[in-house]
């Protein structure tokens, strides 16, 4: 009887670990795990991502399959894992290369257990780093370096240039061969910033409990869900006056178009403060509209782009309002995860968080 109970306990423990393999990482990387736990990577499943689920239900009615799980839950081997950690720490840290394909790129995993990839410039030339222990004062003082649980390889270029993200965040075609992601991202050796430096910036706090470090790479994924305002530093806004009025110029320093995801909307709001009164101008909306046969359609049905008003490298918006002396111009660039129109279409209009305007950048100019 005791043997049976012991066996059951072992099975339950193994099942728990398989369902939450990232929990192991929490022991030595508590800060990073806390960030990951609240990230869109851990919340990319049908259970946690409301927009994904709504679109999946629509697509399921048209074709009973889910090809989206290749990127939305690639590491999930069980139903519980699909719900709790669809993209695990181990999955991302074992991507050894990216295979480029017309329909969708593919992440190639190393298949090695406890052998992970990471990026740290000071260790890049060392390549593979293993656990080491040293002692001094006749063994009275002992110290250790690196992880006793896994070894790390620091010489994989994909983790420095951001290409490790391009397996899922580059493009993906629907059944009609039409790209519904269109992130338009590109990897260039001349880029000062990469996917990783922008979306996983250095933040305060030690990366591991095994040794103190002042900073670590943010694993909550800075973007439209977390640390949105931090991305504002990669966007410049300036204003030029002209005969008819003025022009707002937006310069995008990212290596991809802004607001390119399906149903995403960027919003530019301009207010003039004149003699103590506010004059609100009509908001400008940045979005890309998918369609089929000339009509707006769901991404999985789309065969064309009906309208493209995204911010690529530069974008200028003209206003036919003449500025007066001492006018103060307040410019706000924000976004919605989905438009109110789309929220209603997907029956998500009661979820106000999805249509809430979040701020990326705010500037003021006085004339």
pLDDT in tens, 137-154: 555 555 566 778 889 999
**pLDDT value at residue 89:** 94
Query: Is residue 19 over pLDDT 90?
Result: no
Q: With cut-offs at 50, 70 and 90, classify the pLDDT of residue 92.
A: very high
Query: Closest Cα to residue 270, out of 357, 344, 332, 326?
Result: 332
Question: How much is the pTM?
Answer: 0.85
Same domain, 95 and 209: yes
pLDDT in tens, 237-279: 999 999 899 999 999 999 899 998 888 999 999 999 999 999 9
Q: Is the separation of the CB atoms in 48 and 41 below 8 Å?
A: no
Distance CA 265, CA 287 (A): 5
pLDDT in tens, 117-136: 999 988 888 877 776 666 55
Query: Is residue 9 over pLDDT 60?
Result: no
User: Average model confidence (pLDDT) for the chain?
Assistant: 87
**pLDDT value at residue 15:** 43
Question: Exposed, middle or buried by CB within 10 Å (0-12, 13-18, 19+), for 164?
Answer: buried
For residue 132, give its domain range.
90-222
Q: How many CB atoms lie within 10 A of CB 189?
A: 5
Distance CA 144, CA 136 (A): 12
Domain CATH code at residue 309: 2.60.40.10
Same domain, 218 and 250: no
Same domain, 190 and 270: no
Residue 210 belongs to a domain: yes
Paired tokens of 6:
């012991």
Query: Is residue 184 over pLDDT 80?
Result: no
């Amino acid at each position: 009887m005791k043997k049976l109970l012991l066996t059951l306990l072992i099975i339950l423990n193994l099942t728990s670990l398989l369902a939450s393999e990232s929990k192991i990482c929490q022991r030595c990387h508590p800060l990073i795990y806390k960030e990951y736990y609240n990230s869109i990577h851990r919340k990319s499943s049908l259970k946690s991502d409301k927009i994904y689920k709504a679109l999946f239900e629509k697509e399921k009615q048209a074709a009973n399959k889910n090809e989206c799980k290749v990127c939305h839950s690639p590491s999930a081997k069980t139903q519980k894992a699909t719900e709790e950690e669809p993209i695990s720490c181990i999955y991302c840290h074992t991507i050894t290369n990216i295979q480029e394909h017309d329909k969708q790129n593919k992440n190639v995993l190393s298949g090695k257990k406890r052998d992970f990839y990471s990026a740290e410039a000071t260790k890049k030339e060392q390549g593979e780093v293993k656990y080491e222990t040293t002692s001094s004062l006749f063994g009275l003082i002992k110290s250790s370096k690196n992880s006793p649980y896994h070894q790390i390889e620091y010489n994989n270029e994909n983790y420095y240039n951001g290409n490790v993200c391009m397996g899922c965040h580059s493009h993906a075609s629907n059944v009609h061969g039409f790209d519904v992601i269109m992130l338009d991202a590109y990897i260039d050796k001349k880029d000062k910033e990469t996917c990783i430096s922008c979306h996983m910036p250095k933040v305060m706090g030690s990366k591991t409990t095994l040794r103190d470090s002042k900073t670590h790479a943010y694993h909550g994924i800075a973007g439209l869900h977390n640390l949105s305002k931090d991305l504002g530093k990669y966007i410049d806004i300036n204003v030029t006056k002209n005969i008819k009025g003025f022009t707002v110029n937006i310069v995008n320093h990212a290596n991809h178009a802004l607001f390119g995801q399906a149903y995403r909307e960027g919003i530019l709001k301009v207010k003039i403060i004149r003699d103590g009164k506010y004059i609100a101008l009509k908001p400008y909306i940045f979005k890309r509209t998918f369609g089929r046969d000339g009509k707006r359609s769901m991404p999985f049905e789309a065969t064309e782009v009906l309208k493209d008003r995204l911010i690529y490298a530069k974008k200028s918006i003209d206003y036919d309002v003449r500025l007066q002396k001492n006018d103060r111009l307040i410019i706000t660039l924000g976004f919605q995860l989905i438009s109110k129109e789309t929220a209603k279409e997907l029956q998500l209009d009661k979820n106000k968080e999805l249509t809430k305007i979040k701020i990326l950048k705010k500037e003021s100019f006085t004339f």
